[in-house]
Structure 1
Amino acid sequence: MRSFLDELATQRWDDHRYYHHSRINQSLHLVSALSFIVAYGLLFVDPASAALLAWCVSMTTRQAGHFFFEPKGYDHVNRATHEHKEDIKVGYNLRRKVVLMALWAAVPLVLWFAPSLGGLIEPAQGLRGWLHDVGMAWLALGVAGLVFRTVHLFFLQDLRTGLVWATKILTDPFHDVMLYWRAPLALLRGELIDPMLHAQRGPRGH
């Protein structure tokens, strides 16, 4: 258990120091985290609505931060190029995220033009029914994306790495709130980039 928690701390630390320099990105992650927490609660009473909230608010704000605001140049804090960071990323790098988000965008179109999915499901009745089906399909996509990369990591690295990553993803909303609740305040001060003064202390010093 100690080694599991140590690796979890390392994955979280690497994710923060490599991919969250922009205060705008950090602030969007705060919005994403809070809406994900609401979606977690909603999951027990209305899974389709939970998925709609998670994908339409949580995921879009989260990925917008990475795609549009996070610096893509040389990372002087960590002495690493963007290309190197993308190559060593444990989870979904930008290339994999493009594929995932393309599938996300395709789901509503597929269900609009083929509401029964070729006879696999009962066709939706009206807009409300279509939204429900979209939400359930997005929920399935989210679970599939998590399981696929977890199992992929079993083969690329080892069983523990995959399980640690899955644990990190599921608990990221709570951790991100603790990590980035000050980011909007920094933005109000005009600070667009986190100076990362804590980067030399490592995961335990943050």
Structure 2
Amino acid sequence: MTAFRAQLAEQRWDDHRFYHHSLVNQSLHFVSACTFITAYLIVWIDPAVASLLAWGVAMTSRQAGHFFFEPKGYDHVNDATHAHKEDIKIGYNLFRKWVLMSLWASVPVVLLIEPTLFGTLVRPDGWEAYLRHVGIGWLVLGLGAIAFRSIQLFFIRDVETGLVWATKIMTDPFSDFRLYKGAPRRLLKGERMDDHATA
């Protein structure tokens, strides 16, 4: 258990120092964390609404921070190129995120073209029912993405690494809330980069 916790702390630290230099990105992660925590509470009552909230707000804000605001140049503090960081990324690097977000965007399109998903779903009666189908589709996608990468890590690394990564992903909202709650205030004060994120 001690090794598990140590690896979890290491994965969190590497993620923070390599991929969260921008205070805009950190602020968006704070918004994402608050939204995910809310979705975690709602999922027990209404999984479709929780998933729509998680993917529609939390994931889009989170990934926008990485795609559009995080520096892609040479990381002088960590002495690493962007390409090197992408190669060693344990979870979803930017390429894998593009694939994941493309699948995310395809779910509502597929359900618009084929509302019953080839007879596996009840035909939605109006937009609310359609959106509920989208929400459940996104929920399946999210859980599938975590399971897929975890199992992949079992083979390319080891079982513990895959389980640690899955634990990190599921608990990231709580960790991000703690780490990035001060980012919006700093951003409003005019700061743009977090020098302490890599120190």
Which TM-score tier does this pair reach, normalised by the shorter chain? over 0.9
Number of residues paired by the alignment?
A: 199
Partner of 2:75: 75
Give 1:105-184 correspondences, 5 Å limit.
105-184=105-184
Q: Distance in 2 between matches of 1:131 and 1:164?
A: 33
Deviation track 1:104-128 (CA, whole Å, cap 9, x = no partner) reads 0010011011011111221111111
The residue matched to 2:90 in structure 1 has which SS? coil
Measured after TM superposition, the shift of residue 169 of structure 1 is 0.3
Partner of 1:192: 192
What letter is aligned with 2:102? Answer: A
Measured after TM superposition, the shift of residue 52 of structure 1 is 0.1
The residue matched to 1:96 in structure 2 has which SS? helix
Measured after TM superposition, the shift of residue 189 of structure 1 is 1.8
What letter is aligned with 1:86? Answer: E
Partner of 1:94: 94
The residue matched to 1:27 in structure 2 has which SS? helix
Measured after TM superposition, the shift of residue 199 of structure 1 is 3.6
Measured after TM superposition, the shift of residue 44 of structure 1 is 0.2
What letter is aligned with 1:123? Answer: R
Query: Which 5+ residue runs of structure 2 have no aligned equivalent?
Result: none
Task: State the identity %.
Answer: 60
Q: Distance in 2 between matches of 1:199 and 1:26?
A: 13
Measured after TM superposition, the shift of residue 188 of structure 1 is 1.6
User: RMSD value over aligned CA atoms?
Assistant: 0.8
Measured after TM superposition, the shift of residue 33 of structure 1 is 0.2
Partner of 2:60: 60
Contact 2:21 2:198 in 1 (8 A): no
The residue matched to 2:40 in structure 1 has which SS? helix
Deviation track 1:66-103 (CA, whole Å, cap 9, x = no partner) reads 00000000001100000000000000000000010001
Q: Distance in 1 between matches of 2:158 and 2:28?
A: 32
Partner of 1:13: 13
The residue matched to 2:153 in structure 1 has which SS? helix
More deviation in 65-74 or 183-192?
Answer: 183-192
What letter is aligned with 1:82? Answer: H
Partner of 1:204: none
What letter is aligned with 1:16? Answer: H
Q: Which runs of 4+ in 1 moved over 2 A?
A: none
Measured after TM superposition, the shift of residue 146 of structure 1 is 0.4
Q: Distance in 2 between matches of 1:188 and 1:48?
A: 34
Q: Distance in 2 between matches of 1:173 and 1:114?
A: 34
What letter is aligned with 2:173? Answer: P
What letter is aligned with 1:154? Answer: F
The residue matched to 1:150 in structure 2 has which SS? helix
Q: Distance in 2 between matches of 1:26 and 1:175?
A: 12
